[in-house]
Structure 1
Amino acid sequence: MAHPTDYRLCSPGLVRLVLFLLALCLVGYSVRRQLFWHLSGRGSCPRCDCDCSPKSTLPLPVGISDSSLSDCGKDDPEMNAEMTKDIITLLTEEISLHKSVSEDNLAHTKALIMDARKSSSQYQKEAEKCNTGMETCEEAREKAGAALSEERKLSALWENRARKNGWVD
């Protein structure tokens, strides 16, 4: 008689230990990169060449002071011109850009419509040629059918005359 065997491979304590080690490995893997960058000295951003003052309420990166941001764009004429524009000028420029984009889209659409019309016209001409050819073929078939019918009548007439005169197949 066979003895029932207990196939429990591991105890609950061993399962807990394995799960704890797995969780520890996952946590170590997720913070590995941050620790590597922090310990290697690459954790902070490189210094910026531009001394820009922040327009938002975001905190400054590590190593950049607020006093070094006061003269950003002072010597750039394009930046000065953009910064001095008021909201109406900016909105007018945006509207003109939207208008030019819509005009380009309209011109492209018109070109596509003209191309479609040309193709449609060409297909209509081809269809008319095909219909004309079909009508011609139909007329020729009707004429050939009438001629065949006439030939059969004549053949039957001659065959009857031949039979009366003693002809046999």
Structure 2
Amino acid sequence: MAHRLVLRRLWTLSVNDIRCLPTSTASVASSCYSTSLQSSTTRVSFLSPSRSLPRALPHTSRREVSFNVQDSEDFTERVINSELPVLVDFHAQWCGPCKILGPRLEKAVAKQKGRVAMAKVDIDDHTDLAIEYGVSAVPTVIAMRGGDVVDHFVGIKDDEELDSFVSKVIGQ
């Protein structure tokens, strides 16, 4: 049983991990009963589920196109106190037009490359926010800048209308 586990771990190794393996078969055979193999410079653990990557992955600082609002405090922090203009998409899981508008709106926001953010608010989960902003039908999109409502629309719009709406919100 143990040798199958070791073979499975060996099979899933990356090329960099294999380079760290010892070259003599005697050291491999003697270490099959331990939880790790030891090379001259690097110790690679095969049986631990949380082993580190051989080298660090490059970190990219990409801003999220959209985010889901978790609660009223999250809404205040990420929407009202935002330095960027924010489009707030009030939607519901059961709403067919919302499922059509959401990806289109995300695409229009993504074209702006970080000059505008998009918050998604599920009205079933956050009824208080929907009532506070006068949402009576979904989908409703409200544009906010500096905590103030600057524009809104209700229903579906085509891609060109969404692009012009987003451009108008950011002031282009």
TM-score (norm 1): 0.22
Pick the structure with more helix per residue.
1
Larger Rg: 1
1 or 2 for the larger relative contact order (CA 8 Å, sep ≥6)?
2
Pick the structure with more strand per residue.
2
